[in-house]
Structure 1
Amino acid sequence: MSQPRRTSRHRAWTVLTLPALLCALAACSGGPASSGGADAAPPAQGASPTPSGPPGTLFDTFHYSGPDDPSLTAHGWQVRTDGGGPGIKDTWSTSGAGFPSDTTAQGGRVLQLQASTDGTGQGTRQVEVQSTGKNLFTGTFAARVHFSDKPTSGRNGDHVVQTFFPISPSDSSADYSELDFEYLPNGGWGSVGPRLDNVSWYKADPPDRVSNTLKQRLEGWHTLVITAMNGKVTYSLDGKELFTSSGKYVPREKMDIHFSNWFIDLPFTGGPRTWGMKVNWFYYKAGEAVSYADVQKTVDGFYSAGTHYINTVPKS
């Protein structure tokens, strides 16, 4: 059984500095893509422009210095700080977002999402990083994600949700669309964990969705792929197909990408604890169903070329 729908979210937009704004406009308009990410050096005067990369492609290895890095905003990402749900309302914070080195990750860097709580609303911090382009529709969505089965510190037992999903910019949209990977190591909403839920939504309120649950412990790195093509959506984990939806349960409008780590409820006090989730890279190919093997081959090629960021997806 799929989980109840998350409550409404409201977007809080970050004001761009002039250099970041110019960079963002260049990226969104299909201008030269950065091949060096946050730590790339500018090209020498008179050098040829950096190739923009394959058309209809968004790729990021999250090589940023922190939530306030201008390149993060310029590349179309935002760390959520507004109110609303899901989970413990009004607890979204930039404090849990970071971009540390990680020897277990391809390329040695990750987006780190740390949710923490002491069992009280005041002592809870949830974390979400989302794209802001509103321009991802059909095609292939892929990410290498590290799930956690236990907290990095403190007592186990929280009903935590570690997620990767494209979603409509507004819950109230007439063409609402959402495609979920949600990992619940300890279950929630009355269910027992561990469980990985895949959910395709047609309507947020009242909830109208179809879902599938994989009851398996998934501590560690996994490649999550969603293909939305030709009237169906297919979810796969490390190349193994898990679930397919069709009919009305397919994307009907362009979406943003979200990575989120949050708590369903606060089942006990019991002192502070922190839950970690990591993202190695994100890849999107517009209008094409890309196999798991070809996703990894393409990503390997980007890493070999030293490419940390590409965005050639049309703005609209």
Structure 2
Amino acid sequence: MSTTARTGRTRTRPGLRARAALAAAVVAGLGCATLSALPAAAADASVRVQYRQSSSGSDQAEPWFKVVNSGSTTLSLSEVRVRYYFKADAGASYTFACSWAVPGCANITGTFGTLAAPTADADRYLEIGFRAGAGGLAPGADTGDMQLRFHRSDWRPLNQNDDYSFGPGRTSYGDWTKVTASVGGPTVWGTAPAGNGPTDPPDPTDPPADGPALFDDFDYTSHTDPAIGAHGWSVRSNAGGPGVPGATWAPENVTFAKEGTNSIMNLETSTAGSGATTEHTEILTKDMKFKNGTYAARVHFSDAPRSGPDGDHLVQTFFTINDLKAPMADDYAEYDFEYLPNGGWGEPANILYTTSWETYRPDPWEAVNQHSEVRASYAGWHDLVLTIDDSSIVYYVDGQEFGRHDARYLPERTMSINFNQWLIDLAGQGSTTPRSYDQKVDYVLHVKDQVLTPAQAAAKVAAYRSAGVRFEDTVPATG
């Protein structure tokens, strides 16, 4: 694929930077804290979920909820998850939205998952979660009104009448056991569709048996440290897309430092409002040898520049990818975490995407992918985990499932592991005042052919660090 053909083109969907970055790398011959475990539920944790439907129409579902603390101690809402079960249309993807909520829409998340045992009236679920800003819930108190909705991403009609959790006659709030609620993991309210009952998660404290793995603590002196190349990494310097036309990829802006006892890699992206003054950053593995298994990284996203005016359409990433051999080639693969702190691609503000790619054509643009997204700030450190096996692709953020994507997007070929930070365009901020943005990375982990829970990934990282291991790569070159 020609990187020059992509330069300067505007896209309206996620995942753009990776394809051009990978192609450019091929042309150039480039070949602190741990992940957080789910909190344990308090011994007397108990909630009820009250539900009403606000729309029985065909364009969107509107399940409205109140969560009631029926226990005897104050409950942290960040530990609560509510699931609404429905029957998905074949091939459809869905978009969640919050219209209004007493706890604040910014403190509510909505992600979609797939049931392990589909039934006639449920094969998917919408999981509602709460950010720390939602606060606590005293005994006997409820969250107040949460006016939520979801629709097909293409806005085609949907049928709610075959949805397990839909109550067509529920036009006022009341207890509803066809939705479930969990606190810190265990289900404490409601009944899931048959065959999908609650199960306690496995003990997360012990890492699984040893297997081929890559671990890097990014303990280097600078971008010229010979150990970077010896450990299989390349710091990008070659020109080309994605991003602002005329920008350069500046290896000197990939730096390393200590934060506490942890070594940290920093990717700096800067601009003064023109292509000539814009510098992007990227680091990637030379070899494409990674496929099924678990990928994990601890990444610090930034909402604001280190200095100068804010507002640039920035993309901060962690992803794995291979090369597109021909337009719409069916052996292409790409799996992304992409954070846009100031919007872009048609979004007006913060959004975090996870995207799984089957294939695409650069010109004219055509894409086959599936994505999940949450429109909220993700400034700060976050634990990102991706698992790929022979049946599904699952994304986790801070120990919670963020998105689950279909088997049709599974990889056919091995991939590289990449981090980059770049500007989509210069439309977000027109100032010529210099500004720079930072994306930090604490570590990266890949465990070949093993699906780890986020807590198991945390345990494996902790084991490396307690043993003083800064780097290990036992993943065979054949993938």
Quick check: TM above 0.5? yes
CA distance, structure 1, for counterparts of residue 395 and residue 321 of structure 2: 15
Q: Is the 8 A contact 1:115 1:275 kept in 2?
A: yes
The answer on whether the counterparts of 1:134 and 1:169 sit within 8 Å (CA) in structure 2 is no
Mark the runs of 5 or more structure 2 residues left unpaired by the alignment. 1-11, 32-208
Question: Hey, what's the Cα distance between the residues in 1 that align with 2:270 and 2:325?
Answer: 26
1:297 aligns with 2:455: no
Match of 2:305? 151
Partner Cα separation in structure 2 for residue 64 and residue 224 of structure 1: 22
Aligned length in residues? 276
* CA deviation profile, 1:266-304 (whole Å, cap 9, x unmatched): 121331000000000000000010011111111011111
What 5-or-longer segments of structure 1 have no aligned partner?
16-52
Which of 226, 249, 253 is the aligned partner of 1:70?
Answer: 226
> Which residue identity lines up with residue 221 of structure 2 in the other structure?
S
Q: Residues 201-240 of structure 1 correspond to what in structure 2 (within 5 A)?
A: 201-205=357-361, 206-240=366-400
User: In structure 2, do the counterparts of structure 1 residues 4 and 108 end up closer, same or farther at CA, with 3 Å as the change threshold?
Assistant: closer
| Separation in 2, partners of 1:93, 1:170 | 24
Q: Given that residues 5 and 204 in structure 1 are in contact (C-alpha distance below 8 angstroms), is that contact kept between their aligned partners in structure 2?
A: no
Q: TM-score, normalised by structure 2?
A: 0.56
Q: Which has the higher strand share?
A: 2
- 1:126-275 aligned at under 5 Å gives the runs 126-170=280-324, 172=326, 174-205=330-361, 206-267=366-427, 268-275=430-437
| Percent of pairs with identical residues | 36
Q: 1:10 aligns with which of 10, 13, 24?
A: 24
Deviations 1:165-191 (A, max 9, x none): 000044646410000000001110221
Distance change >3 Å, CA 276–CA 306, structure 1 → 2: same
Q: Does the aligned pair in 1 maintain the 2:217–2:443 contact within 8 Å?
A: yes
Q: Is the 8 A contact 1:61 1:281 kept in 2?
A: yes
**Bigger relative CO (Cα 8 Å, ≥ 6 apart):** 1
Q: Could you tell me which amino acid in structure 1 is paired with residue 297 of structure 2?
A: A
Distance 1:58 1:4, change over 3 A: closer
User: Which structure has the larger Rg?
Assistant: 2
Instruction: Report the CA distance shift for 1:285/1:14 in structure 2 as closer, same or farther (over 3 A).
Output: closer
2:264 to 101, 107, 110: 110
Tell me, yes or no, if the aligned pair for 1:4 and 1:207 is still in contact at 8 Å: no
CA contact under 8 A between 1:171 and 1:204: conserved in structure 2?
Answer: no
Cross-structure match for 1:99: 256
Deviates more, 1:282-291 or 1:238-247: 238-247
Q: Which amino acid aligns with 1:265?
A: D
Q: Secondary structure at the match of 1:10?
A: helix
2:279 is aligned with 1:279: no
Instruction: Give the distance between the partners of 1:68 and 1:307, measured in 2 at CA.
Output: 21
In 1, distance between residues paired with 2:325 and 2:275?
24
Helix, strand or coil at the partner of 2:409? coil
Counterpart amino acid of 1:92?
W
Is contact 1:136–1:256 with CA below 8 Å preserved after alignment? Answer: yes
In 1, Cα distance between equivalents of 2:323 and 2:256: 25
Distance of 1:297 and 1:4 partners within structure 2: 30
- Cα deviation for residue 146 of structure 1 reads 0.4
Give the direction of change, closer, same or farther, for the CA distance of 1:214–1:14 in structure 2 (3 Å limit). Answer: closer
